[in-house]
Structure 1
Amino acid sequence: MTGCNMTSDVLNASSIKANGEAPSRRTTMLAHMGSLQQAAYVRPIEYREGRAHGLGAIEVKNGPLRFVSMSDKALDVCEFEYRGENLTFLSKPGLNGRNQFDTNGQEALRSIMGGLFFTCGFENICGPHTTPEGSQYPAGDYPMHGRIRTTPAEHVRADARWEDNEYVLEVCGEMREAELFGENMVLRRRITSRYGTASITVEDEVTNESFRSEPLMWMYHCNFGWPLLGEGAQVVIPSRKVTPRDEITAADTTVWHEIGAPVPNKPESVYIHELAADEQGHSFAAIVNRALGLGVVIDFNIKHFPHFMEWKSMGAGDYVVGLEPSNSSVYARQWHEQRGDLHMLAPQASERKTLTFTVIEGEAAIDALIARCDALLA
């Protein structure tokens, strides 16, 4: 049981009707509050200083859960907190709006800031790449992690409403990655959270609105930092097989799922996981911290994400773990081009993907997550 659920249970238990029937959540909340915004709201905001100056976003509060979706940057979630504790990673450049160097090769490292997740794709993920003329695939320069993450949203809608007995908080919009004589890919995104549950669900649909088949590389770069990430924290993944990305990772003597203290100038390690799943393809990845009594679980389907990578950076000042469900490999576009299996989306076709991020709280919830991992691997 999460703390958010406990809040709603206390409200329900404290207002029993004379006939012995418990009131609905809606009736109870309206009876206890003048404005529901003291417990939950969806609110457009704009940052006013530094690299984030002018960045438009939508702040969502759901009881003890708070997150921020950036309307100027693909509606990606940059801030994610529970009971005031930060759960995500923010890189050295800090919170960034859109910059001239966002999609300029390796210069993307100056604007990649982390957050709960940023969307990678759709022409490329991971390292920058150039496809030459004469290739079977569209030629061009493709920046690190692609362009969609810096694309501003249009047709943005933010809403808080009752659906029967559920108070639903919702952010929607669409992003278009397009070029004259080139691609025309539209991402339609909906992020929802329901009062009484410490979770958010991201529902995405990408449509190829051009008249040629287009590459569709698609990864969610999910990033966790201090204080959730600290000495003794643990990466929980039902991994059947783990492969180091490179020689540096292979030489790392630490265990992929254990989190130690920051080490000055320690290089990053990247692991490729083969995940176990249930009969329907449902699987997950998580970070848990028993000392803090918290964890974050990402639920997804491996049929939609046949590749999964773990980015583990224990370097001082770059202390982060990234969990990365993807439809493409960490070896990026050139690897798929050489193999001839770059994922393509036909003209006017669409693909959909869903992720759910859930905060778990307490020893029992963490133990249950470990048991779930063991059951998938059994």
Structure 2
Amino acid sequence: MLVQHNNPTRENMLAHMGSLQQAAYTRPIEYQEGRAHGLKAIEVKNGPLRFMSMADRALDIAQIEYRGENLTFLSKPGLNGRNQFDTNGLEAQRSIMGGLFFTCGFENICAPYVTPKGSQYPAGSYPMHGRIRTTPAEHVSSDAYWNENGDYVLEVSGEMREAELFGENMVLRRRITSVYGTATITVEDEVTNESFREEPLMWMYHCNVGWPLLDSGAEVVIPSRKVTPRDETTAADDTPWSQIGEPVANKPESVYLHDLAADEHGRSFAGVVNRKLGLGLTIEFDAADFPYFMEWKSMGAGDYVVGLEPSNSSVLGRGWHEQRGDLHTLAPQASERKTITFTVIEGNEAIDAFVARRDALVNI
């Protein structure tokens, strides 16, 4: 739980501070050098929780800290704005930053894909993890305000359009909120098909945990009823999927497909906890929204990360779904909504409660 020195009521906060920005704010910023030069973002501070929403990259959340400790993974290219690698097949890896999450889709997720001849879908070439993650936001808004419940709310919103002449016209409307006095970030998304034909809608949140939260002795906590390795390389990895060790030079990545259990309300979750650090990062969502859940575990030196990936499609890719005849699509003018919540948990008591919640669902 987020510990405050006083009650986060309006009267109490105003009594202790000349400006509430002493404790909480949203602030538009722009990076000034390197690959990130010109990249626009919204900095959000909520007490000891601080994060950046990338306005030029779908409002995805990149950097996040809690009490000064980094919680997520930043890949070798680091922060970067739009560039020539963004939508060029596998070269997309030169622009994938990591961060708390990046949004994958909507025409494709995972490996690059080219629509084969004879497909029922229009011909197309789709880069790794799709195009929405590199789409700049429009109608960007950020605010900090008291709501009707007496909460001080930090809010970021905007919309992204993935579109092509004679092609798709998919609009993502996103709202990100965090309430002062909590260590939670809520992402509420709505995707609308504004074209006049049925469109594929592959939709995944690529959530990434990095050092120092991810360290030897940390644990991946997933209420998994069944675990399937993606490939032979993963099957040959003799380290348990839930166990985190030291980085190993040139160790290949492992990817696991999890069949998640859900509680009586249909909710499921996942997270990484580090008892030595006394911190954990959790994600929570409606299981019905995400029939697929993948774990990306990379213990390679320099690529040390665990990805938690709730999705409406499989990591096996668009071609796999097309062959099965179950590629998820969205009707013309229709909309779909999803919500995902990120929470920092602090202290061994909170970690124990989170692990016990997992154990209760899978009877460990």
Question: Do they superpose with TM above 0.5?
Answer: yes
Structure 1 residue aligned with 2:294: 309
Larger gyration radius, structure 1 or structure 2: 1
CA RMSD of aligned residues (A): 0.8
* Aligned pairs, number: 362
Instruction: Give the counterpart letter for 1:195 in structure 2.
Output: Y
Aligned equivalents of 1:280 and 1:346: distance in 2? 28
Q: Say which of 152, 161, 182 aligns to 2:136.
A: 152
SS at match of 1:330: coil
SS at match of 1:303: helix
Instruction: Give the counterpart letter for 2:348 in structure 1.
Output: E
The correspondence of residues 160-239 of structure 1 with structure 2, limited to 5 A, is 160-164=144-148, 165-239=150-224
User: More displaced, 285-294 or 272-281?
Assistant: 272-281
Runs of 4+ in 1 over 2 A off after TM superposition: none
SS at match of 1:287: strand
Aligned equivalents of 1:58 and 1:264: distance in 2? 35
Question: Once the 2 structures are TM-superposed, how far is the Cα of residue 279 of structure 1 from its aligned partner?
Answer: 2.4
Question: Once the 2 structures are TM-superposed, how far is the Cα of residue 304 of structure 1 from its aligned partner?
Answer: 0.2
Question: Once the 2 structures are TM-superposed, how far is the Cα of residue 370 of structure 1 from its aligned partner?
Answer: 0.7
Question: Once the 2 structures are TM-superposed, how far is the Cα of residue 133 of structure 1 from its aligned partner?
Answer: 4.1
Task: Deviation per CA, 1:117-176: give whole Å up to 9, x if none.
Answer: 000000000000000343112220011000000000000010000113100000000000
- 1:93 counterpart = 2:77: yes
Structure 2 residue aligned with 1:266: 251
Aligned equivalents of 2:265 and 2:317: distance in 1? 28
The correspondence of residues 59-70 of structure 1 with structure 2, limited to 5 A, is 59-70=43-54
Percent identity over paired residues: 79
Q: Say which of 35, 38, 43 aligns to 2:19.
A: 35
Question: Once the 2 structures are TM-superposed, how far is the Cα of residue 237 of structure 1 from its aligned partner?
Answer: 0.2
- 1:110 counterpart = 2:94: yes
TM-score of the aligned structures, taking structure 2 as reference length? 0.98
Q: Say which of 230, 237, 253 aligns to 1:252.
A: 237
Structure 2 residue aligned with 1:282: 267
Q: Say which of 106, 115, 125 aligns to 1:141.
A: 125
Instruction: Give the counterpart letter for 1:186 in structure 2.
Output: V
Aligned equivalents of 1:41 and 1:91: distance in 2? 27
SS at match of 2:354: helix
Aligned equivalents of 1:139 and 1:285: distance in 2? 37
Task: Deviation per CA, 1:98-124: give whole Å up to 9, x if none.
Answer: 111101000001011100000000000
The correspondence of residues 346-365 of structure 1 with structure 2, limited to 5 A, is 346-365=331-350
Instruction: Give the counterpart letter for 1:193 in structure 2.
Output: S
Q: Say which of 58, 62, 83 aligns to 1:74.
A: 58
Structure 2 residue aligned with 1:20: none
SS at match of 1:11: coil
Question: Once the 2 structures are TM-superposed, how far is the Cα of residue 259 of structure 1 from its aligned partner?
Answer: 0.1
Aligned equivalents of 1:178 and 1:108: distance in 2? 18
TM-score of the aligned structures, taking structure 1 as reference length? 0.95
Aligned equivalents of 1:281 and 1:100: distance in 2? 41
Instruction: Give the counterpart letter for 1:11 in structure 2.
Output: N
Structure 2 residue aligned with 1:19: none
Question: Once the 2 structures are TM-superposed, how far is the Cα of residue 350 of structure 1 from its aligned partner?
Answer: 0.2
- 1:58 counterpart = 2:53: no
SS at match of 2:289: coil
Aligned equivalents of 1:242 and 1:154: distance in 2? 40
Aligned equivalents of 1:371 and 1:285: distance in 2? 12
Question: Once the 2 structures are TM-superposed, how far is the Cα of residue 301 of structure 1 from its aligned partner?
Answer: 1.0
User: More displaced, 132-141 or 207-216?
Assistant: 132-141
Structure 1 residue aligned with 2:280: 295
Instruction: Give the counterpart letter for 2:49 in structure 1.
Output: L
